[in-house]
Structure 1
Amino acid sequence: MPEQKSERFIQMTTAPVIGLVLRLAVPSIVIMLISALYNMADTYFVGSLGTSAVAAVGVSFPLMAIIQAMGFFFGQGSGNYMSRVLGARETEKASCMAATGFISAFVFVAILCVLGLIFRGPLALALGSTPTILPYATEYLFYILLAGPWMTSSMVLNQQLRFQGSASMALVGMVSGAILNIFLDPLFIFVFSMGIKGAAIATMISQMVSFLILWSCCKKKENIPIKFSHFSPSFSIYREMIKGGLPALLRQGLMSIATVIINHMAGIHGDAGIAAISIVNRVYMFAGSLMLGFGQGFQPVCGFNYGAKLYKRLKKAFWFCVRLSTCVLFAAAVLLAIFAPVIIAFFREDDPEVIRIGTLGLRLYCISLPFSAWVVMSNMMTQTMGKALEASILSMSRQGLFLLPGLFILTPLLGLFGIQLALPVADLMAFILAIPLANRVLRQLKEEPAAAPNNAQT
């Protein structure tokens, strides 16, 4: 074990930065793309069941985002800390954090999901179901709630593996479940004639399989396994977890709140409005997966080198990720804007209203898509470094500081167009806010001492 950890430390703190980031980013990009793809597959296959069924998946999305938010909170909260202490060669602390983060996540989400099952009907209404959407939504939510603890646990293990530098192993677990989901969707929906219930069962099974694979990956000798004897709930452990995980929780949690509000506002304009916005969100998530993959490749490099006080390497990795992800997102935005009608029609070709609303919404999204690279990379850098205040502000900025107020201001004035316009406006405002916050953190690194090993490469 010590030898393996020493090799990992040397690799993370001495290998050429750009190659290291790319090697860690590629598996993360694949994970995010395939995860987004199977979310789109759910929408695509359910689309054959009608506009109300598609809207039901969209209504259920905020709940899934909350479940994932718990996974990001406990997973990134524990993983950020693990990467820093591994950079400082304190393996025992990393093991205690891994066990505490995993067990806490499973228990907490299991309690939430039991409550959700008991109050499933009111929950579906609270998420934005209309009378025509409600039967589909309650059926879909039942199996999503059963899958909740496994979904969160998979996310925690995935994040912990990534922050240890085992991105390829995290890739195997997450991709296996995603691919399985894509194959099970048409099998259960069409072959077994299970309708929207089949899509939810496919998701549940795939999440359980993904969890089992990730659990086995954690037992590989170069990784830190989950040892129940190392479960160490304490104020200091949870304080570190909150510092590292709160930004992710705020980001995902506020996105869920914003989506619920959007569902209610769009519901006034009929199921087509909710369905169109749901499709646009899935497409946007697919494009954003490229950026998130780069960021997740950057995070372990950031954590190890920040813990080892190799600030020059950290900044080089940050600027490389910002430049590359901005260029990629610009290209994606151009393509999405050009082919927006075709993309929306792919999901609901027989509903002209969904196509009309979705095309405009997707093109508006494309205006701000490249600017989100700076926001996300800055957020991931400050979060991994344990800069809780800056990271939390950046996490809240898009949904909390700008999108929610924008919705309440623009929607009464412009109706459905106001909802669509509020999204890119929030992205642009978050970009403006992120510039001084991230630059201040980068300037602080110049003032701190750097103690690089003699063999460190940049």
Structure 2
Amino acid sequence: MILDPIMIFVFHWGMMGAALATITGQIVSAILAVYYLCHMKSIKMETECFRVNPIISKKVLSLGISSFLTQISIVAIMAAMNNMLVIYGAQSRFGSDIPLTVVGIVMKVFQIVIAFSVGIAAGSQPVIGFNYGAGLNHRVKKIFKLMMAAEACVGVFSMIIFECFPMEIIKLFGNESVLYNEFAVLAFRTYLCTIVLCCIQKSVSIFLQALGKPILSMGLSLLRDFILSVPLVLFLPKLLGIKGTLYSAPAADMISFIAVIAVTRYLFGHLKKDEKEERETAFNRGEETINLVSE
């Protein structure tokens, strides 16, 4: 944010300046990360820490594969989306260039909102994992409800902005033709109308990672981001033309949200069962203690 305007507008380096700003930011952040790792108060990095442990690696990979596949699926979605925008955009009055440019902007704005959503869920992960590992399932449920409330607020606020003020967002990226603005308003209002459902779906997937359930987490991520999105992007334009590409995201969000509800009900049932077993175990231990004292 600091180096981009300096290198582009002050030094007049254009695209090269933007690239240098990005690279510089990555190098500085990497140096800061290494410095932090080497100066932690509670953990000291030793040679032993850098040796690959197969057991730990397996656990890390099983949890990280969900995020990895999600990122890969985004590439597949964009590839399919761009192809459909070019093909069906050329057949519409908007042409191929306007839809391609506008959806690129919409996806960037979408990623900003999802970054907030993922940040809330990722920030909750260690707290969820700690309490779940300690058997404090009532706390896990409380954290989940609080996290869902925060995600819903982010999603609803974003949806209101996109539905009510799309032109104000578009103007941040420059003023274009009337036709361009028309499609941009349509794209924001259509493609992002169910963003609140997407925020909740992303957070539930990360919540599953915190509970050590990588298969469920991966399945939920792939359901929305690949299994549903790619076929819908390819199929809906055949029925609805260029608008079909925009309806693919809301359709995927609504269908995947049904799976989110089912998974959440399963999880709460599982947590409630564990909580009941914990109470019974604690009660039995109390009785044993009383018997021992009586004896």
TM over 0.5: yes
Q: Cα deviations across residues 176-217 of structure 1 (Å, max 9, x unaligned)?
A: xxxxxx121122223333222221221111011111112222
Give the C-alpha shift of residue 388 in structure 1: 1.6
CA distances 1:343-382 after superposition (whole Å, capped 9, x unpaired):
1122031344442222211111332112223312211111
Partner of 1:209: 28
The CA deviation at 1:410 is: 0.7
Give the match for residue 148 of structure 2: 322
Percent identical among aligned pairs is: 27
Which of 120, 135, 143 matches 1:309? 135
Q: Distance in 2 between matches of 1:280 and 1:402?
A: 19
**Aligned partners of 1:247 and 1:392 also within 8 Å:** yes
Q: Deviations over 1:223-260 (max 9, x none)?
A: 54554532233432332112210111121111121112
**Which of 244, 247, 272 in structure 1 is aligned with 2:63?**
244
Which residue, out of 258, 262, 265, partners 2:77? 258
Partner AA of 1:424 in structure 2: P
Residue 334 of structure 1 aligns with which residue?
Answer: 160
Q: Report deviation, 1:447.
A: 2.2
Q: Give 1:387 deviation, angstroms.
A: 0.6
Tell me which of 251, 256, 259 is aligned to 1:430. Answer: 256
Q: Quick check: which has more Rg, 1 or 2?
A: 2
| Residue-by-residue CA offset, 1:43-84 (whole Å, 9 max, x unaligned) | xxxxxxxxxxxxxxxxxxxxxxxxxxxxxxxxxxxxxxxxxx
The corresponding residue for 1:343 is 169
CA distance in 2, matches of 1:356, 1:217: 48
Deviation at 1:446, TM superposition (A): 2.1
User: What secondary structure, in the 3-state scheme, does the structure 1 residue paired with 2:193 have?
Assistant: helix
Which position in structure 1 is the counterpart of 2:16? 197
Measure the CA separation in 2 of the matches of 1:392 and 1:226.
31
Check the 8 A contact 1:371/1:428 in 2, yes or no. Answer: yes
Structure 1 gap ranges (5+): 1-181, 454-458
Q: Which runs of 5+ in 2 are unaligned?
A: 90-95, 283-295
CA 438–192 in structure 1, closer or farther in 2 if over 3 Å, else same = same
Query: Amino acid of the residue matched to residue 251 of structure 1?
Result: T
| 1:428 to 1:226, Cα distance in 2 relative to 1, 3 A | farther
**Residue 280 to residue 226, structure 1, CA distance change in 2 (3 Å):** farther
**Deviations 1:129-163 (CA, angstroms, capped at 9, x unpaired):** xxxxxxxxxxxxxxxxxxxxxxxxxxxxxxxxxxx
Per the alignment, do residues 334 and 198 of structure 1 end up closer, same or farther by CA in structure 2, a change over 3 Å counting? same
Q: Provide the rounded CA distance (Å) in 1 between the counterparts of 2:219 and 2:9.
A: 45
Assess, with a 3 A threshold, how the Cα gap between structure 1 residues 215 and 352 changes in structure 2: closer, same or farther: farther
Q: Distance in 2 between matches of 1:298 and 1:237?
A: 22
Secondary structure at the counterpart of residue 347 of structure 1: coil
For 1:210 and 1:223, locate their aligned partners in 2 and report how far apart those are by CA, in whole Å.
Answer: 22
CA contact (8 A) 1:311 1:450 kept: no
TM-score (ref. length: structure 1): 0.56
Aligned partners of 1:261, 1:198: CA distance in 2, in Å?
A: 31
In the superposition, the TM-score normalised over structure 2's length comes to: 0.84
Aligned amino acid, residue 371 of structure 1: L
Structure 1 residues 223 and 353: CA distance shift in structure 2, 3 A: farther
Q: Return the match for 1:361 from 172, 175, 187.
A: 187
Tell me, yes or no, if the aligned pair for 1:302 and 1:314 is still in contact at 8 Å. yes
Partner of 1:419: 245
Change in Cα spacing, 1:214 to 1:446, as seen in structure 2 (3 Å) is same
* Corresponding residue for residue 230 of structure 1: 49
The Cα shift of 1:326 comes to 0.7
User: Is contact 1:361–1:420 with CA below 8 Å preserved after alignment?
Assistant: yes
* Aligned counterparts of 2:202 and 2:225: Cα–Cα separation in 1: 13
Q: Are 1:385 and 2:211 an aligned pair?
A: yes
1:384-441 deviations in Å (ceiling 9; x for gaps): 1111221111110111121011011112232321111101111111111111112212
The structure showing larger relative contact order (alpha-carbon pairs under 8 Å, at least 6 residues apart) is 1
Total equivalences in the alignment = 272
Deviation at 1:322, TM superposition (A): 0.5
